[in-house]
Chains A and B, each alone.
Chain A
Amino acid sequence: MLPVAVERLTKAFGATVALDAVTLAFAPKSFTALLGPSGCGKSTLLRLIAGLERPSGGTIRIGDQDVTALAPEKRDVGMMFQSYALFPHMSVAENVAFPLKMKGEARGKIGERVAEALALVRLEALAARSVRALSGGQQQRVALARAFVARPGVLLLDEPLSNLDARLREEMQVELIELHRTLELTTVFVTHDQEEALSIADTVVLMRAGRIEQTGAPEAIYAAPKTPFAADFIGAANLLPARVRRAGDGFVAEVEGAVVPVRAPQDGREGDYALVLRQEDIRITDAPPPGFASLPATVRTRVYLGAGARVVVSVGARTLTLLTNKNASAASGAAVHVAWDPDDARLLHPQQD
């Protein structure tokens, strides 16, 4: 349960800059999700902390020690690999015992610790089984137990749940949360699934092309994305180009040839913005409530979701996706109006890709 801090950490593979001067701190006992699209440098950051890659620049501290130049075997780290990397020639118990054996623990203590770890991942019954004879979900638990059994200062998990089917995955998410609560290890886990990141971590680090886009608590980052990329990646929000100008004592925006009311941009300046609208904040209506922004739209498709429906509409040349309750009728091809409360819309500066 040590703090981890990286400062201006950089890693280049030839001409590819996988990590670009990243500065980040992980508090002791924190549970952080590294979130971002594939190839944005999440695994690279994890491997740098573990010592499996040598940084091109910057420093890494674990606890009060600068470990930048320290070999991985001397760092106090536990890591779970995306491929699990179980030792195929060993049993479940031998796999889990390995880190303790390498630390030179006494036999009796190893047995105790292994039994305890296997109980935590509910694999006691399979201790003597060869890891080759396990299902994917069971292998994943062995890999997890092996990563935390030695109570490392920091626990690193690289896409720990990505190889599981949806059901097992939801089950394991709950188990990860409970495990973290029990062990209180400083945990960093990598995922490209925003829902997973938001639901299990206490801090989300959103990455993009080797840099940090935004850091914060899940609620904060969801409620207040700072960039169109963050809004899109975290909330699957709709982005509309908007030209904002003053009108009277407020602001309006030109969106797809219509003029809608908007709240004042943060810096109070006129200009080109991205208007960010969450799927759940847009409604289909014939009579928009007073003060709401509204645009004419055409319904394209409607996907039934049980509790409600996801509706895709065209607004001018753009498409918007929105969630409606199950009663809202929206036949395909119907001309409708979409409306939203200007308080729910955000204006962000547009971003280069």
Chain B
Amino acid sequence: MVAGTPTLAKAIAAALVAVTIVYMLAPLLVVIGASFSTSSYLVFPPEGFSLKWYQKVLDTPSYLRAGWLSLRIAVLVTLITVTIGTAAAIALTRFRFPGREPLQALFLSPLILPAIIFGIGMLVLFSRYADGPSLMALVAGHVVITLPYVVRTVSAVLVGMDKATEEAARVMGANRWQRYWYVVLPQALPGIGAGAFFAFNISFDDAVVAIFLRGPDTETLPILIYTQIEFSSDPSVAAVSTLMILITVGMIVAVERFLGLKLLTDRRAAGRG
């Protein structure tokens, strides 16, 4: 019995992992499968094989417009969030100033509070003080919900960084900006990359904030998919979703290639120090 327990535990663990994988992958497989179906409604398993729904997506201006909008928003959000988030992470980990702790909590609060609150708040703000929803309103909303991820990932790297490297640079004649540029930022790069990855993906498939800020010119891809599902169940929705999955997977692979490996070696170096 005693000898059997680890095997049993292993078996249970393996089963749990298997269930989790199936549970996570099943919806993806359903969507991807349905996108290749010949039938004109969403079915699984797919009937036959065709690429006509992809053709239809490419021929539908509303999809293209929404996709282009989502992409522009995600890129803008990523750039802005990475800049603000990195600066905030540096301030929060490197400087001691009054109100540091409340600020830290504030920066991380969107991670804890439901995004819907920010959606409502943004809508009220932009209706009251601007001309209602706009691309910039959406960008602003996404910056708020993605900021904590960048602050987190960059802070984690900065906290783990050998502070003596900055002192060493200082003794070697590097002024404050040179120290950030040559020593701190390059070492924070894995965290910045990971944060950018989160920011892009969260913005690209956000539907909660976007639904509050939607207007005739601010219909993002997730919102369009959502309304399409509501009103018609044509597999072109599945085709669009599959394309979104493709973009995300592409990014994961890129991050793995360029940052994942670097993160691993960084950790090894830190462990030896």
Contact = CB atoms under 8 A, between A and B. Distances in A.
Contacts of A137: none
Given A71-B170, A87-B183, A146-B168, 16 more contacts: A73-B170, A73-B174, A73-B175, A78-B171, A78-B172, A81-B164, A83-B162, A83-B164, A85-B162, A85-B168, A87-B182, A87-B186, A87-B187, A98-B169, A132-B265, A132-B268
Q: Which 10 A-B pairs have the closest CB atoms?
A: A85-B164, A102-B173, A99-B172, A85-B168, A89-B186, A132-B269, A79-B171, A72-B170, A81-B164, A73-B173
Contact of B173 (A52, A81, A103): A103
A102 B178 contact: yes
Nearest to A78: B171
B256 interface: no
Interface in B253-273: 265-266, 268-269, 273
Contacts of A86: 165
Interface in B116-165: 162, 164-165
B258 to A, nearest CB: 14
Interface string A74-110: 1101110101011111100000001100110000000
A51 B189 CA distance: 29
B36 to A, nearest CB: 44
A239 interface: no
Contacts of A75: 171
A279 to B, nearest CB: 37
A240 B171 CA distance: 46
B165 A85 contact: yes
A348 interface: no
A274 interface: no
B217 interface: no
Interface of A: 50-52, 71-75, 77-79, 81, 83, 85-90, 98-99, 102-103, 132, 146, 150
Contacts of B47: none
Contacts of B169: 87, 98, 102
B101 interface: no
Nearest to B183: A87
A85 B170 CA distance: 12
Contacts of B265: 132
A158 to B, nearest CB: 10
Contacts of B173: 73-74, 99, 102-103, 150
B interface majority secondary structure: helix
21 contacts: A51-B171, A52-B171, A72-B171, A77-B171, A78-B171, A78-B172, A81-B167, A85-B164, A85-B165, A85-B168, A86-B165, A87-B182, A87-B183, A89-B189, A90-B186, A98-B169, A102-B174, A132-B268, A146-B168, A146-B172, A150-B173
A65 B170 CA distance: 19
Contacts of A72: 167, 170-171
Interface residues of B, number: 23
Given A73-B173, A102-B178, A103-B173, A88 B187 contact: yes
A87 B165 contact: yes
A49 to B, nearest CB: 10
A104 to B, nearest CB: 9
B71 to A, nearest CB: 31
A13 B167 CA distance: 19
Contacts of B167: 52, 72, 81, 85
B94 to A, nearest CB: 15
A89 B187 contact: yes
Contact of A88 (B171, B174, B182, B266): B266
A32 to B, nearest CB: 18
B266 A79 contact: no
Contacts of B182: 87, 98
A21 B59 CA distance: 82
Contacts of A150: 172-173
A73 B171 contact: yes
B172 A88 contact: no
A98 B172 contact: yes
A68 B146 CA distance: 45
Contacts of B174: 73, 98, 102
A150 B168 CA distance: 14
Contacts of B164: 81, 83, 85
A11 to B, nearest CB: 16
A103 B172 CA distance: 8
A79 B168 contact: yes
Contacts of A73: 170-175
A250 to B, nearest CB: 57
Nearest to B176: A73
A102 B168 CA distance: 12
Nearest to B165: A85
Most chain A CB inside 10 Å of its own CB: which residue of B178, B268, B269: B269
Contacts of B172: 73, 78, 98-99, 102, 146, 150
A89 B270 CA distance: 12
